[in-house]
A and B are shown apart, each in its own frame.
Chain A
Amino acid sequence: MSSPPTVVRAPRLDDYAAILGHPEINELRALAHRLAGRRVRMVNSTAVGGGVAEILNGQVPLMEELGVPTKWEVITGGDAFFAVTKAFHNALHGEPYDGRPEWLDIFLATNEENRRRMQFDEDFVVIHDPQPIALVDARDGSRGRWVWRCHIDLSHPNAQVWDFLRPFVERYDAAIFSSPSFTHDLPIPQYLFFPTIDPLADKNRDLEPELIDQVFERFGIDRKRPVITQVSRFDRLKDPVGVVKAYRIVRKYDDCQLVLAGGGASDDPEGEAVLREVQEAAQGDPDVHILNLPPWSHLEINALQRGSTIVLQKSLREGFGLTVSEALWKKKPVVASAVGGIPSQVIHKLTGMLVHSVEGAAYQIRFLLSNPDFARRLGDYGYEHVKENFLITSKLKRYLLLCLILQQGS
């Protein structure tokens, strides 16, 4: 297992020019120049683990390099608070909610404690996801423009939780969603931002073939036989048990292996319980590799994706599902559920295969194993699709534009 990360040089804008060309980078600089040093603050609920922390880790230094000073702050909260926000998270994805009335008090009290601790004197404040949403109480005394960035699938929210959160959302100047289907009839402007990946991060950069071999060897995975991989934290909404069921169907026809690689984010108390459920479902099958990896295992994840035959993302609900873009960037054929933001990334039969059930996932895996040329073409198109839409530089541009538009509005 690799060690916690040491400090390495973060990618700079010019490093991305090799992938995107200089014109796109020059235009980012021209847009940033228009903001003339205006300052941004980003607030979320975890510094490590989970897609949001990963996004901010890559984005904040680049905003700074563009001359837009950007401060990233993480709210603090106890176990009770994160248990409540996990219940909110599941409920907003449409799961049942049977919270007690004091849960709302815990949620509000923690937000209030954080509000008192933080200063908001930036020009733009971006609050990520529901956990810190009530920080908007601080906007009355601040001069900045406030934006709520929602990373989760709000298309079928539990009404009780959404009715509680909605008044907070309405107090922002704008909201950002990952898909039009996540939006609601709100009185504020709603913008579409696709989440993005960083092609130069350890999780996505090119790897030497020897390193990929080493990682597979270390985990005891046989590269001579097909490898089906799902990379996700151990969360019921990612349906890891459904993945094992799909694998069992495929195994009737193909001698393949399954890799379930993930971990638990620091704001996800359910992770360990789900991990146990998956281990039980695997029933000690030596060809099912359940890898509970620490959050800094980016190179291992990268190698597992690159060395896999097919990458699977069989989520039941999904915010966007960045692991899909990660796999497409590596030119991998992807089989993924048609939920959340996944259909934006997987155009059925062109950049991957969309499925709606365990049986569907198994069928498409079998189809791709039997048709490697078609699988290769999906991977090639998928790479181009990500390059055009889902790289970190596109996200930078969207934030710069939003700041400029909000600035004009004020």
Chain B
Amino acid sequence: MKQAKEPFQFMAASYLVRIRRERAKTLADMARFLRTCSEASIFYHTFQSLESHHYSAFSSDFAQWILAACNEAALAERLATVDLREYVSLDALRSTLAAMVEEHIQENPAAADRPAFEPFHFCESTDVTVPLDRQAMNLAELAEGIRSLGLQSLHYHFITSRLRLRLVTNDFSHWIAYSLGWPELASQLNRTDFHTNTLEGVRAELLQTIEPWVSR
């Protein structure tokens, strides 16, 4: 079995939700706060919310609020379909989201100050990561580690990693490409769609992709 140059270190990642002071009561408020809120807030309401929205229409908190509280379905759809996989910087993501809301207000001035049904409370997550007693030196060990990760830790390694690495990739693919030397598998794994899937679904797909390569 092929051995890696460097071990893959599994981490236990968890986060606590901190409630910020910003509260948007109109679309105009939302446009303004999207420009000024913390990057941690942008992260929480987009990347982090992917983990918790299995039942609502959209995985972005911003999109969900604009649909449910502002009744602006077209704008909500545009925000919801921003592909987070393409972003390695929260500032770039912030610009995209804010520009979409500003553009919508420009085209629909009456929507700007119409009161929302309920306010949007900006939150942010405070992360804590702890190294686990588990490393992988080959694909079989990586698969075993993925199988035994908690959901928040899987989210950390596969989804938020692109912000940490500032690359359009994830921890597993990065390690497979550079430490194990299999860029093709790395690329296959990176195509797993976390946007429209639950984290358990992502886990199953990752393991299914890795499985045929384990015996090589």
Contact = CB atoms under 8 A, between A and B. Distances in A.
B12 interface: yes
A33 to B, nearest CB: 8
Main secondary structure of the interface of A (DSSP, over half): helix
Given A181-B119, A398-B16, A401-B14, 14 more contacts: A23-B149, A26-B150, A27-B12, A27-B130, A30-B130, A31-B14, A34-B130, A191-B19, A192-B17, A351-B55, A388-B52, A389-B52, A401-B16, A405-B126
B17 A31 contact: no
Interface stretch (A115-123, A182-190, A314-322): A182-190
Contacts of B14: 27, 31, 397, 400-401
B214 interface: no
A177 interface: yes
Nearest to A338: B118
Interface residues of A, number: 33
Given A31-B12, A189-B18, A192-B18, A347 B56 contact: yes
B52 A192 contact: no
Contact of A31 (B21, B118, B128): B128
Nearest to A402: B16
A286 interface: no
Interface string A386-409: 001100000001101110110000
A190 B18 contact: yes
Main secondary structure of the interface of B (DSSP, over half): strand
Nearest to A34: B130
B54 interface: yes
Contacts of B150: 23-24, 26-27
B148 A23 contact: yes
Interface string B122-159: 01001010101100000000000000111111000000
Counting chain B CB atoms within 10 Å of each CB, the highest count among A23, A34, A192, A400 belongs to A23
A48 interface: no
A138 to B, nearest CB: 25
Given A31-B12, A34-B130, A384-B54, A185 B149 contact: no
Contacts of A26: 12, 132, 148, 150
Interface string A263-289: 000000000000000000000000000
12 contacts: A24-B150, A24-B151, A27-B12, A27-B132, A30-B12, A31-B14, A33-B130, A177-B19, A191-B18, A385-B54, A401-B126, A401-B128
Contacts of B148: 22-23, 26
